[in-house]
Structure 1
């Protein structure tokens, strides 16, 4: 910076104070008129604009003055973040974060959160918290709680730092609200309601906020409370609470939109689907700087399609969803695309209620879109509703085989997606095929243990635990060793994960008991604590078989001889009736009476049944002739019985052959 420029800047700053940003902006504009290339004046200008919340104007300055982006990367990244370009803000801030500036790291964390890179935001906040700056501790704790809640909503709950609300979280309304959101995302609605009520109570008791500021803070929490009550089935309470919300007074358009949808869902009076459709679309579209997160927008789009289907707008739903499906590559795990595929199938089915009729309309779509995950899951679900588990299993197996033959990275990620694996394993379990379930889980675990380039292709903790547990159940040495390696990897990721510790101890106690760490064993609860509330004598008296106790002496067994006799008597006296075999309706006769006992000999011909008694003289004589081992009466004119050779299959086996000889 030259001496003239420094003097110019000094004179500029001397004209005003740092608190009066309007005057500072006027002075900077005056200096820029004299010299448009004065970067210091431009820098002062954008800082004043940012202080005055004129973010669009600040972004315009950076767009016009390219050299200013290099001089003020912090302000540039912040302006991008505040104008809704969070992705670009992450790029700018990440390039400067290596220098160790805390300010740029805060901007990077907020931009990553807004661009839904929640894992990256969590790592940054964890790094900032480890540095122990007291002035930032409160803000970091609040922001970290918000990140944990979003990780739960995004299906990455295993990365969250907190899985349960703590007493510290319930001391401030912001952290209590974040704890409530995290509980709701995990499906713990009752706990979420408790945390939410606590947050509202804490906010209402604040003395440093005005009544208007309190109302602005409580309003989104009330909208969230309506959602909880609706999910809990408390429709009347939800409707009453929704009536207290003035939707049009909500300043944030995104929150107003959600409040409108929740009020429709909680209302009993709006039974007309056409009226619901109009109310649903009455809220204005949120701006670029006030967008919903993807999980929210996906649900809102789904609600819109459902409203259209209920309003008989099936052709419109088919057309709209086909655009979404065709614009994305297949196969894909995108929730938005797969949701569109499900609703596209519903549109083609035209609101039929019969599973068989729906399949008739939907199955032809599978020929056009054989790799559509949403469509395949829809057909699988219909097969399950019909009880045809074999067809559902075959459909998924064929799809998986096709993806394996493709061999591309994206196809294999879909092939071993935890949700699809869980679906196939559930079908195997329903059919009593534990071997197939274990094999499928083992293949999935082996795939996800390999390194992946994509950050989004992270292994599912639940899938790995299920796979390792299934391998342990096989009691095979190789499978047990593999299970130990899986649990070891999970333990390295989280050394306090009880499932990983228990699995690691179980595997190592078989494969490598000498090197089993006693610290891991000590972490598990004592066996006596686990069985402290079990009364063995009461179990035996209730009818537990005692055959397994035959090798135990009376001195070793605390059960008395008298209790043994009672248990044996109870066991012998109580017989468990065999379960009646279920008969399909298609095989039942029209006049079938389920209360009438069926004939055990109904499959035999009538003459072979034990209770058959022929009628008339001819019938009695015929019965006497068929008696084996009894006396046979010979009457005049009756031919003696002859042994005949069996015919070759055609007719005429009993015809007499003509004698061939001399004539």
Structure 2
């Protein structure tokens, strides 16, 4: 064995082999003589990695046994990562202590969507650069921050706003753009994508072929942003410049095809679109999309099914998927499936017609959060906020009565609490909203370790709302909430200001040290000049003046009488005569009005007090009978007298 090792080592030293295929042939020749030659096995594995034959490298290392795995542990971890087995790669790399192992574990953690661990590893690498390029670590860290935003863990991101260093290279500009898009800042994301495109085109280190390869994902992302912004014509024009068949990454290629289909302004054939978006994602491995991408692609597939009128199949498939999740829950995927399931039952109906089809489904799944929120949205859109509040209160009441701690976490989930509080405020029921926030704050203050995303924002909102309440227990809860949040993050100015607003007497200097001192805030303010200047005016453009808001002094000069225009003077107008003061009244309402004819005179007599109409008044109202007639009716009953029988 030693002679074979010496022969291989001598061969590699004496020759300058640049073709890795020749290295593999030399290693194979040595292994024919000695199958257990670790040196030859190791050389062959490295050559396979150089040729990007990662699957063959994994097989070669595994065939070498435990000794080769221990000797080529770094190569084995890297080969597993490149072969799509990221979880195994991260586990093996975690056992190593060298810097190379940290790089492999960080990349494998990123691919397994353990972005928090990846961010921690890249932060440790950036603290001590050694031989690593700072720009490369900044690029990788920016990609991790973007994925943290996409996965709902934005609070762990290293930076929220793009810095000047992010605009120096197209890779960092692209990562910063992805972070903005994940946060919903589509306008800023579009600007950064254009910056990344310009930097890529201007790069002198890339060939034209490399530039085209780098521009493809940037263009695909631009098509997505333009579609989200509603600029479909621009998105369609840009998507025509993308040759999806030339994208090497399978998941990016599929996303480019889907975005191109969505960006198309023409309705087209829904069945053809369904064929494009309904591709099985398992066929994309090892370049399979991330979880948040898979969720969106799945929704696209269901939307295409609904456009193709496949209501029954969509309802059945989503129902089967929903049954795999515990109920109730706040999982984004599960609740998204509930929305699609409701749309399938609605059969492209909206408003009250959709409610008729969806409400029976709620009887079967009364704790389905996604279904309840869908119905709430339908109620609100139809102007029936009262029914929406009643429905959501029923769900919260059922969850509150549960003995499971997980159900209580769902009941006080930030999204549900925010929805019911918003509905209360829309109806002017602020007291109900304050009580709801108080209960949510009390619940989450008991659970300091297991808090989902959004709880900190919920506690801040609860503290601010409770400050407006006059109840002493609400004021106390607001003080305790802000104090707890400030202890977690002493640099948070919002909580420090909340402590002062809730209890200024008990606020300490350590709690208020992060706030700007009052003396500094008012150091440049001249109270005397402000008082003399009067009411402050809004800023105006140069050359534009605003009239003073002060009331002008009373004008004591006699005013000239206005002349009446000739067109407004009547033809028979005589300036020497006094105008009739009743000229504005209708003719019949004037004191000088005298009716003519029999009907007019009868009408005038009728309106006179105590007068009775004459017999000649045709069509007039009959007069009131005299007293004698009324008396006779009271005595005789108003009927004719009957003849008496004879003989008596």
Per the TM superposition, whether the score is higher than 0.5 is yes
Q: Distance in 2 between matches of 1:366 and 1:52?
A: 57
Corresponding residue for 1:118?
A: 115
Can you give the 5+ residue segments of structure 1 that lack an aligned partner in the other structure? 542-559, 567-614, 625-631, 641-663
Structure 2 residue aligned with 1:432 = 428
Distance change (3 Å), C-alpha of 1:189 and 1:32: same
- 1:161 aligns with one of 158, 161, 181: 158
CA deviation after TM superposition for structure 1 residue 391, in Å: 2.3
Are the aligned partners of 2:493 and 2:514 in contact in 1 as well (CA < 8 Å)?
Answer: no
Q: Does 1:331 align with 2:350?
A: no
Q: 1:505 to 1:636 in 2, by over 3 A?
A: closer
Q: Is the 8 A contact 1:438 1:467 kept in 2?
A: yes
Kept in 1, the 8 Å contact 2:314–2:344? The answer is yes
Question: Which residue number corresponds to residue 16 of structure 1?
Answer: 12
Residue in 1 that maps onto 2:353: 357
Cα deviation for residue 405 of structure 1 reads: 3.2
CA distance in 2, matches of 1:393, 1:368: 20
Match of 2:80 in 1: 80
* Correspondence 1:471 to 2:466: yes
Any residues of structure 2 matched to 1:13-92 within 5 Å, and which? 13-16=9-12, 21-37=20-36, 41-64=40-63, 67=66, 68-92=68-92
- Measured in 1, the distance between the counterparts of 2:308 and 2:526 equals 58
Larger radius of gyration: 2
Deviations 1:463-494 (A, max 9, x none): 23222222333366654554455445545655
Cα 1:284–1:324 change in 2 (3 A) is closer
Contact persistence 2:277–2:297 (CA under 8 A): no
Structure 1 residues 169, 34: CA separation in 2 closer, same or farther (over 3 Å shift)?
same
**Aligned residues of 1:359 and 1:382 also touching (Cα < 8 A):** yes
Contact 2:153 2:453 (C-alpha < 8 Å) held by counterparts: no
Q: Which residue of 1 aligns with 2:368?
A: 372
Counterpart CA distance in 2 for 1:66 and 1:619 is: 127
Question: CA contact under 8 A between 1:86 and 1:111: conserved in structure 2?
Answer: yes
- Aligned-pair CA distance for 1:216: 0.3
TM-score by length of 1: 0.74
* Greater CA drift, 61-70 or 244-253: 61-70
1:420 maps to what in 2?
416
Aligned to 1:245: 242
In structure 2, the residue matched to 1:589 is none
Note if contact 2:362-2:372 (Cα within 8 Å) is conserved in structure 1: yes
* Preserved CA contact (<8 Å) 2:338 2:371: yes
Aligned residues: 555
356-365 or 130-139, larger mean C-alpha shift? 130-139
1:462-611 alignment to 2 at 5 Å? 462-474=457-469, 479-480=474-475, 482-491=477-486, 496-507=491-502, 509-513=504-508, 516-522=511-517, 526=521, 537-538=534-535
1:183 paired with 2:180, answer yes
- Check whether the contact 1:438–1:471 (CA below 8 A) recurs between aligned residues: yes
1-structure distance, mates of 2:443, 2:498: 20
Question: Post-superposition shift, 1:524?
Answer: 12
Relative to the length of structure 2, the TM-score reads 0.76
Could you tell me which residue of structure 1 aligns to residue 271 of structure 2?
A: 274
Distance (Å, rounded) in 2 between the aligned partners of 1:525 and 1:259: 54
Match of 1:396 among 392, 399, 415: 392
The alignment's C-alpha RMSD in Å is 3.8
Alignment CA distance shift 1:211-1:85 (3 Å): same
User: Structure 1 residue 215: deviation in Å?
Assistant: 0.3
Quote the Cα distance in structure 2 between the aligned partners of 1:376 and 1:220: 38
Q: Sort the Cα spacing of 1:80 and 1:310 in 2 relative to 1 into closer, same or farther, 3 A.
A: same
| Correspondences of 1:216-255 after superposition (within 5 Å) | 216-255=213-252
- How far apart, in 2, do the equivalents of 1:497 and 1:484 lie? 15
- On the 8 A contact 1:257/1:284 being kept in 2, the answer is no
Compared CA separation, residues 394 and 171, structure 1 to 2 (3 A): same
Q: 2:204 aligns with which of 202, 207, 228?
A: 207
- Does the 8 Å contact 1:404/1:415 carry over to 2? yes
Following superposition, the deviation at residue 517 of structure 1 comes to: 3.7
CA distance in 2, matches of 1:470, 1:214: 53
Change (3 A) 1:531 1:317: farther
Q: CA deviation at 1:42?
A: 4.0
Q: Does the CA contact (< 8 Å) of 1:305 and 1:317 recur in 2?
A: yes
Superposed displacement of residue 275, structure 1: 3.8
Report the more deviating stretch, 170-179 or 85-94: 85-94
Over residues 589-640 of structure 1, what are the superposed CA-to-partner deviations in whole Å (9 max), with x where a residue is unaligned? xxxxxxxxxxxxxxxxxxxxxxxxxx9979968xx9xxxxxxx999414669
How far is the alpha carbon of 1:146 from its aligned partner?
0.9
Residue in structure 1 matched with residue 576 of structure 2 by the alignment: none
- Residues 77-115 of structure 1 show CA distances to partners (whole Å, capped at 9, x for unaligned) of 323322222233333333x26x4x322222222122112
Contact 1:50–1:79 (CA<8 Å) still a contact in 2?
Answer: yes
Cα distance between partner residues in 1 of 2:262 and 2:192: 23
1:257 aligns with 2:254: yes
After superposition, give the CA deviation of every residue in 1:198-233 in whole Å (9 maximum; x if it has no partner).
Answer: 111111111121100000001111111122222222
Q: Distance in 1 between matches of 2:130 and 2:524?
A: 43
